[in-house]
Amino acid sequence: MPFSSAFPAVHGSLLVVEDDAELAGLLQNVLEMSGYDVVLAGSSADALASLSGVNHIVAAVLDLAVTDGSVLPVADRLRSTRVPYVFASGSCCSMPEEHRWAPFFAKPFPISALINAVESCRATGVP
């Protein structure tokens, strides 16, 4: 039995865009234990494709710099559809004004703080 199947999704689908496979797997395990069905994407292109194919993403965790460049096109799509997101990245850039409301976590970050930020964003919504 796969590890993640023991934890039913109670919070909905969470998109995680992370190109570091080890960190992505860790995030997937912890977030699934927190009640999310995790959709992993290693690039912006994969994330955008996932957004087209998944019925309902309730929130997202975004690494700013992924294999195919910036994740900002994904953040733009999420914001336009009112899906909350947080940034968790080892990269820092000048964040466009429309995304400055989203919490930013510099790697390494405390996983409990990230989960709390996701929950908080879901509660308050996208401005």
Q: What is the CATH number of the domain that holds 105?
A: 3.40.50.2300
What is the CB neighbour count within 10 angstroms for residue 19? 17
Neighbouring C-beta atoms of residue 63, cutoff 10 Å? 27
> How many domains does the chain divide into?
1
What gap in Å lies between CA 19 and CA 6, rounded to an integer?
25
Q: By residue range, what is the domain housing residue 50?
A: 3-124
- At 2 the pLDDT is 39
> Which pLDDT tens digit goes with each residue over 16-59?
999 999 999 999 999 999 999 999 999 999 999 999 876 689 99
For the range 103-107, what are the long-range contacts, defined as Cβ-Cβ under 8 Å and sequence gap of 24 or more? 107/23
pLDDT 10s digits, 52-91: 876 689 999 999 989 998 899 999 999 999 999 999 988 7
pTM metric for this prediction = 0.87
Q: Is a pLDDT exceeding 50 seen at residue 5?
A: no
Give the separation between CA 58 and CA 94, rounded to whole angstroms: 26
